[in-house]
Structure 1
Amino acid sequence: MYLEELYNKLDEINTDYSLPESWKEIHDIDENLQKYYKKAFKDILESSEDRRSHNHLSIVQLYLQHFSAYSHTGDPRFDKASLLKTIPLLKIFKQSGFNSIMLLPHFMRSERFKKGDKGSPYSVKDYYTIDPSLKDEIIPDCQTDTLFGAFIEAAHKMGIKVFIDMVPRTAARDSLWILENPEWFYWVRPENTDRLVELLKTPIKDLGPASSMSVENINTVLDNLPMHEILDIFEYAPSVSYPEKWERLKIENKDNTDFLDKLVEEFNLITPPCTSDCVNDPQPAWTDVTPLRLFQDYSHQIMDKFSDSILERPPFFIQPVLKASNFPGKVPLDDLWNKIAEIPHYYIDKYHVDGLRGDMFHALPSKLIEKMTQKIPDKKGFTLIMENLDNKAGNDLSIEHGFDYYTGNLFAVIEEGAHSMDYYLNQITGFKTAILNMPVIGDSVPILSRNREKALFQIALSAFIPNGAFGVTADTIIENKLPLNYGLGFSDQMQRDFNELLIKDDRTLSYFNYDCMNREWSKQKMELIDFFKELNSLREEIFSEDIAFKLSKINHEQHSLTWEMCSEKNSYIIHVRFEDEDQIQIDNTKIIYSLNIKQEQEIIKMKPYSIIVERIII
């Protein structure tokens, strides 16, 4: 429906600009812009592959607001990423053998308190509106809901599933939901926002850095936070303090998405920035988002400490309140919970998305997650992914809530060598829930910024880990070596080095800024497509069997690791060398995959960052 509607609008294109050679190569066309799109869309409309036929997921994490950005004209209106430009590029993922796309947030984002020139995708202004920046100026009357629907349908035509990403613990500080009900939020005077952050970051002497809130430490936290000062900073929602005045502002701004200045001017109130739900956390406050108020009351630990009189004060948050999974109240804000719980169902019903990645779900109360998942009509055909970098906690929460996968921390472990990988293998294969084996994510250090042999080795190694999916970021496929965000694993020196490279390439951090990948797209051919295609084809072949992890062996002196996994018919042995060279003797005919090896008759020399996959018929 959406795809055909968009195809019919392509006749309206009356603009022309140059396309990178790699784009024309993908669809084998060297024509003007309108003919390029018509040929690409016709190819997609004539496809009909079953996206539900794959045995195991191979995932591309895609940042729609960046992937297709290219300097066609020098005018950001045409050069920015768009859904229209991305649809023909889906063929890259298909050619590379990936069967699923996991989107970064695609929702309407805030342009207030932004960290760059366009703001973070996680500063969500409205979950029910597609990011307006994803429109395309060459068909300006085509709305984003049509474009997004066409994107989903195009992926499905190619046999690719699409998962959305949501983070309903927070919202943009000028969220459109404020106009719907300001009591879903917390409020302070604008002049007190910095003071609140300072108070919430009060050092708790008896606890370590970034200590997660737990029943074991909550009393220590409550005893050491300056609670009276914190409580004095919060104010009631404007609808509570000034109901008639609020109704007038609400009516006057019902169609105004940029209402925050008027609100602040009228009431001298603002939503405060959010902090981490850990104490002693060195990371700065999240100044572009604010926490959602999930309960009318507080956990019994807080109620016991301060008595029921605390409910006579304006609603407030501290770290235990933010960690609502461990410290839920008893009385939920039902209308807010319903609003959140409807989001997945809305995208399933309207766009037929295939799955959901739950960011920060580890901080949500269990009953809210249950409310969300219960709204999903066909759980068997819908993939649920729990974002959690702690493998054990990710597995436990996934079991509790019926999630299919958790994200895990392979991107960090894989840099630590053979010993850490051995521990990781034995840990995750002992869990019931599958993991996303991703050696790189949007927040991590770009894997191709490392030594190329090492990077390809780390990617290949990840593809053969059992009990999980395999995945990379979309920009890895086109060989982007620069970060999207300084999120996880970046030392101060690394950030300084990357800053120099970004300036040299006229690039910037794309999570928060307009940024084009000109160098990456200007290549005649995407060299890694065949590399990924081979890996994904082998994965489909191997994991179509009922595979069980058998054992692993580590050689600390030689920095090597071997693991074995078996089915009824075959045994697969993966030989991995992290550093130094070594010689091993393997029957040539049993090798089904190799990387960075040199063969001399029956002796195989394994170089640093090499891998061999051996198949033995049982």
Structure 2
Amino acid sequence: MHREHLEIVQSALRALSPAPESSSYRVPRMWVDEQPGAIAVDPVLWHLEQLGELLASPSADTAVDWHREAVVYNLFVRFGCAFDHDGDGRIAPEPLASGFRETGTLLKAIAMLPYIKKLGANTIYLLPLTTIGEKERKGTLGSPYAVQDPLRLDPMLAEPALGLQPETLLKAFIEAAHLQGMHVVLEFVFRTASVDSRWIGEHPEWFYWLKESVPPESYGPPHFQQDTLNEIYSLVDRHEMEGLPAPSESYRNQFARRPVTAEPQKEGGYRGIDADGEACRIASAFSDWPPDDRQPAWTDVTYLRMHTPPEFDYIAYNTIRMYDAALTNPETHNTGLWEEISGIIPRFQREYGIDGAMMDMGHALPAALKKEIVTRARKTRPDFVFWDENFDPTPAIRDEGFNAVFGSFPFVVSDIIYIRGLLNFLNKTGVALPFFGTGENHNTPRVPFRYGEQEAGRSFSTFIFTLSAVLPAVPFIHSGMEILEWRPVNLGLNFNDEDRAMWPPETLPLFSAASFDWERTNSLQPLNGYVKKVLDVRSRHLDIILSGEQGSLVIPIVSDDAIFALKRTAGGRSLLFIGNSAIDNPRTGYIEFKKESAALDDLLTGTICMVENHRLELTLKPGQCMLFLLPDEN
């Protein structure tokens, strides 16, 4: 396997002298021996030691169909690899005197790989790494989704001490992951760009322009009368996409008339002049589905203009996901933009050797464009994996060439009744496409945020992770979950106005410098050892767990509603999950069996539990779970 970029990094480190403040440079003990706390190291010598171990690793075998057995660790490098190295109580956005950063870098991501592998993960899913727009930035560092240049990496991901570009470090990271037998999936942003995107000056026709005379405070989603909203919802529900109601003429007239010429401004960004000679600016984006969503505009990003008809030269609900049937005609495609977008992943394949891609806002991309993206990437590498940020694992998405979808599981975990409903539905229909098995991601509340920072959050985190691991899903470790991190990364979905008032953008790690609580792990025993144990059991019974056939997700009746049971069956063998979803007290319940008596071995603890008189009765602590391989006829 390739090691040349790892060796370049090693040479750069060897050229450095030990750091003058090495006695005060600390790293999390979790990265070293999986325990809370911090240890003092010399950053040069420590990174050299980590790289030396990686380079000494024998090349690991990687399966052709690795995606079927993928266990994902989802990492936002700038945040997940950050640490208060000098112990002053803050994460400095500027590098320390030694030239090493406290914010997360790709060098520290390399050093974390052995820790991630020990958890049981074999796939790293990286949130966007590309350069971030300067204009209208959220927080102190800006959003990784405000992509200024989709082909260049954020310079914040490099360590100034090394004198190496982030592109070199990403190549080294992927080499190191491959040496560990791990795969790397990058998230790509194809629907939006920053309001000062590099593309604006070269291709103003790829963007929506708003007349400069429109006050920023008055711009936002169009207002629809209730009868129009009802009509929109009704047409969309029936998949009747022809002639969807347009916003009012006054709303549409806020947007510039084409063609537009763009000129860069000294203060950053671009100013345009439209066909009427009127000054205009890039139109910032907003959440435009549902059509009556009243969230404020997203000031740092804009939507890319995927279609050319002038009658659609505005941003509204059909910009994102509900395309009018008129836009399916190939003559309406913004072909130059589509060509540019569909060439991005092949470039990353050639440059970096990535193994897969998550398509951000995949539900919002034209189907024809998604098909072209997948086709071109698979020409370069037939086994390349695609994940779709879509919520329904349908056969149609599978047939588009995707290997998994985000799915809806994080949105039902707050209520055991909804979990039962989702799994009963999947049992009847079968699982057409794997989804992410997780209770959280960077856009949703973390499980401890929902249920409390202390034992209640730990209990439900244990329950949800164990249940997720036995579903026909992709186990998904949202970085920080294993140490019970509770603070939200971003307020995207399932948050309320009170949350938004409490967590403005400058406090959120998606936009500003921050770190996990690596030292105290939320004052609780971390879950890393438990995560490893569950994933080990899963790996021994993949033939049962990966089956998504109809009838493979049976929910047995338990006498206590808080105790949830799930029977997974495939090839004449069955695995039984039983867990206590209650977060504050033990619960006792029983489940009935066909067999009068049997001895069942809990695969997680080795405890023997007895079936007597056709019943298995259990008392489970809050969040406690058990897994049993069932004898025949049960």
Q: TM-score, normalised by structure 2?
A: 0.82
**Letter of the aligned partner of 1:354 in structure 2?**
D
**Aligned match of 1:471:** 476
**Aligned partner of residue 51 in structure 2, secondary structure:** helix
Q: 1:288 to 1:396 in 2, by over 3 A?
A: farther
How do residues 153-552 of structure 1 correspond to structure 2 at under 5 angstroms? 153-192=175-214, 194=216, 197-198=219-220, 200-207=222-229, 214=236, 222=245, 225-226=247-248, 228-236=249-257, 240-241=259-260, 249=263, 259-260=268-269, 268-278=279-289, 279-297=291-309, 311=310, 315-323=313-321, 325=323, 327=325, 328-330=327-329, 331=331, 332-376=333-377, 377=379, 380-389=382-391, 391=392, 394-417=393-416, 419-429=417-427, 430-449=430-449, 450=451, 451=456, 452-465=458-471, 467-494=472-499, 508-518=507-517, 520=519, 527-544=526-543, 547=547, 549-552=552-555
Quick one: distance in 2 between partners of 1:512 and 1:357? 20
**Aligned partner of residue 628 in structure 2, secondary structure:** strand
**Letter of the aligned partner of 2:154 in structure 1?**
D
User: For the Cα contact (< 8 Å) 1:325–1:364, is it kept in 2?
Assistant: no
User: For the Cα contact (< 8 Å) 1:295–1:333, is it kept in 2?
Assistant: yes
**Letter of the aligned partner of 1:106 in structure 2?**
L
**Aligned match of 1:568:** 571
Quick one: distance in 2 between partners of 1:423 and 1:295? 39
Quick one: distance in 1 between partners of 2:174 and 2:448? 29
Q: 1:329 to 1:296 in 2, by over 3 A?
A: farther
**Aligned partner of residue 222 in structure 1, secondary structure:** coil
**Letter of the aligned partner of 1:479 in structure 2?**
L
**Aligned match of 1:89:** 112
Q: 1:542 to 1:289 in 2, by over 3 A?
A: same
1:605 correspondence with 2:581: no
Contiguous gaps of at least 5 residues in structure 2 = 96-100, 592-596
User: For the Cα contact (< 8 Å) 1:21–1:522, is it kept in 2?
Assistant: no
1:19 CA displacement:
1.6
Residues 516-542 of structure 1 show CA distances to partners (whole Å, capped at 9, x for unaligned) of 335547899984221111111111111
How do residues 552-563 of structure 1 correspond to structure 2 at under 5 angstroms? 552-555=555-558, 558-563=561-566
**Aligned partner of residue 41 in structure 1, secondary structure:** helix
**Letter of the aligned partner of 1:52 in structure 2?**
A
Quick one: distance in 2 between partners of 1:320 and 1:368? 16
Quick one: distance in 2 between partners of 1:38 and 1:606? 46
**Letter of the aligned partner of 2:390 in structure 1?**
N
RCO greater where, 1 or 2, for CA within 8 Å and sep 6 or more?
A: 1
Q: 1:597 to 1:182 in 2, by over 3 A?
A: farther
1:62 correspondence with 2:86: no
Q: 1:274 to 1:89 in 2, by over 3 A?
A: same
**Letter of the aligned partner of 1:46 in structure 2?**
A
Q: 1:321 to 1:411 in 2, by over 3 A?
A: closer
1:24 CA displacement:
6.5
Q: 1:114 to 1:540 in 2, by over 3 A?
A: same
Residues 454-481 of structure 1 show CA distances to partners (whole Å, capped at 9, x for unaligned) of 221121111111x211112112123322
1:324 CA displacement:
5.9
Count matched residues: 578
Residues 119-178 of structure 1 show CA distances to partners (whole Å, capped at 9, x for unaligned) of 111111111011121111222x20010011111111111111111112311111111111
Residues 542-590 of structure 1 show CA distances to partners (whole Å, capped at 9, x for unaligned) of 1145645152224485333322222336321112332361144885553
User: For the Cα contact (< 8 Å) 2:211–2:254, is it kept in 1?
Assistant: yes
User: For the Cα contact (< 8 Å) 2:601–2:607, is it kept in 1?
Assistant: no
1:365 CA displacement:
1.2
1:184 CA displacement:
0.7
Q: 1:218 to 1:550 in 2, by over 3 A?
A: closer
* Structure in which a larger fraction of residues adopt helix: 1
Percent identity, please.
Answer: 22
Contiguous gaps of at least 5 residues in structure 1 = 298-310
Quick one: distance in 2 between partners of 1:600 and 1:590? 11
User: For the Cα contact (< 8 Å) 2:26–2:41, is it kept in 1?
Assistant: no
User: For the Cα contact (< 8 Å) 2:564–2:580, is it kept in 1?
Assistant: yes
**Aligned partner of residue 629 in structure 2, secondary structure:** strand
**Letter of the aligned partner of 1:50 in structure 2?**
D
Give 2:52's match in structure 1, choosing from 42, 46, 71: 42
**Aligned match of 2:594:** none
Quick one: distance in 2 between partners of 1:64 and 1:553? 41
Quick one: distance in 1 between partners of 2:497 and 2:607? 32
Quick one: distance in 2 between partners of 1:163 and 1:524? 32
